[in-house]
Homo-oligomer: A and B are copies of this chain.
Amino acid sequence: MPQKVRIALDAMGGDVGASVVVPGAAMSLARHPDSEFLLVGKRDLIEAELANHPQLKAVSRVIHTDVAVNMEDKPSQALRRGRKTSSMWLAIDAVKKGEADVVVSAGNTGALMAMARFILHTLEGVDRPAIAAVWPTTRGESVVLDLGATIGGDARHLAALAVMGSAMASVLFNLPRPKVGFLNIGTEEIKGHEEIREAGEMLRAANLPQLEYIGFVEGDGIGKGVADVVVTEGYSGNIALKSAEGTARQITELLRAAIGRSWLSQIGYLFARSAFRELRNKLDPKKSNGGVFLGLRGVVVKSHGGMDAEGFAYAVDVGYETVRYDLLTKINQMLNRAGGGLVPDPSAPEAVS
C-alpha cells in the first residue's frame, strides 16, 4: 500500500470543532500511520491544537476559513450562506478536486448531505443518496441503511441501497459475500410495499457474487444480527434507528435509577462492575460513530455532533477504511457489472407494453 490515505476534516463541524477534531485525528493517525490530513477551519484554533500533536502536524495541511455552517441551519440556508466559503463546503470540495480521498464532518447532517450532493453529484445508476451506519448486534455488527437521507423509493433504489450497503459491509467487516436483507413487517397478504418484494426479486435474479440476498428481516432481526446488511428507505430506517437508540437509553436509565434506590444494589453494582463495563463497551455509541453517505462520487463520513475526540476518531477510522479498501470502486463494479441488469440504465428505452 504505497499510497497515503488523504482525509479532509471539517474542523468547524460539531458542537465543539477543532478541539475535538484535531485530537480525534491524532488518535486515528496513531492507528493508521499512512494517513494524511487536510484540516479546514480557523487557522489559529487548528494550529493551537496541532501544537499538542506533532505527529499529526507533520502530516497535516491547514486550509483557513472562518465561515462555519451552524448546527441549526436548514440545508437551503447552509447552501446559500456557506457556499464556497464554509469549512464544510471546502472540505467536501477537496474530495471533488482530488486533493483528498474522503471527507469527515461532525456538522449539521442535512447541510452536509445537501452540500455533498451539490458538489459531488450521485453515482451513475444512483438517483438519490443514503446514509449507512454500523449497528451493534448480538452477533457482532451490521450495516443498516438508509438512516434518513431519502424518503421512499422504488425497487431500483432499494436494490442500489443493497449493493452499496453490502460493499460497505465487505469493506468494514472484511466479508467476501455479506448477507443482505430488506427490512419488512411480518404480516402476510398486506397491500403496499410491492417495491420491497420487487427489489428482492431483482437481487435474487442478479445473483451477485458480492452479496447473498437472504430475504426479509423484521425490526427485531436487526439487533439479532440475522443479516450483515439491512436495507430500507430512509423514513423507516430513521424510525428503526431512533426507536432502538431510545430504548437502549431508556433501559440504561431505568437500571441506573433502580440501582441507585438501594444501597444493597449499589454494592452489587460494585461487584458486577466488569459486566456493566462490558455491556457499555459493546453498546458504546462512540464505536459505531461514523455514518457513511453512499451513492455519491466521493465518500463523506458524518460523525455525531456531540462526540468527543475518541468518538470522532472512530469516524475518521471509518473514513480511512472506505478509502484503503476501495469502497467506491467496489460499489461501481457491482452497480455496473458486465452483463448486469440489476440497476438498469434509466435512460434506456422502455419496452412497449
Contacts and interface: CB of A to CB of B under 8 A. Distances in A.
Interface residues of A, number: 69
A234 B185 contact: yes
A181 to B, nearest CB: 13
A351 interface: no
Contacts of A267: 268, 271-272
Contacts of A97: none
A343 B235 CA distance: 26
Contacts of A275: 255, 258-259, 261-262, 265, 268-269
A181 B17 CA distance: 34
A239 B183 contact: yes
A220 to B, nearest CB: 3
A116 to B, nearest CB: 14
Contacts of A52: none
A268 B235 CA distance: 42
B185 A239 contact: yes
Contacts of A76: 189
A271 B268 contact: yes
Contacts of A264: 271-272, 274
B274 A191 contact: no
A255 B279 contact: yes
A84 to B, nearest CB: 21
Contact of A243 (B109, B193, B243, B251): B243
A75 B232 CA distance: 26
A350 interface: no
A348 interface: no
Contacts of A74: 188-189
Contacts of A247: 223, 243-244, 247-248, 251
A129 B74 CA distance: 37
A220 B240 CA distance: 9
A221 interface: yes
B251 A283 contact: yes
A241 interface: yes
Contacts of A219: 238-246
Given A152-B192, A220-B242, 14 more contacts: A110-B187, A148-B186, A151-B192, A185-B239, A193-B235, A218-B238, A219-B240, A219-B242, A219-B244, A220-B249, A239-B239, A254-B282, A265-B272, A269-B271
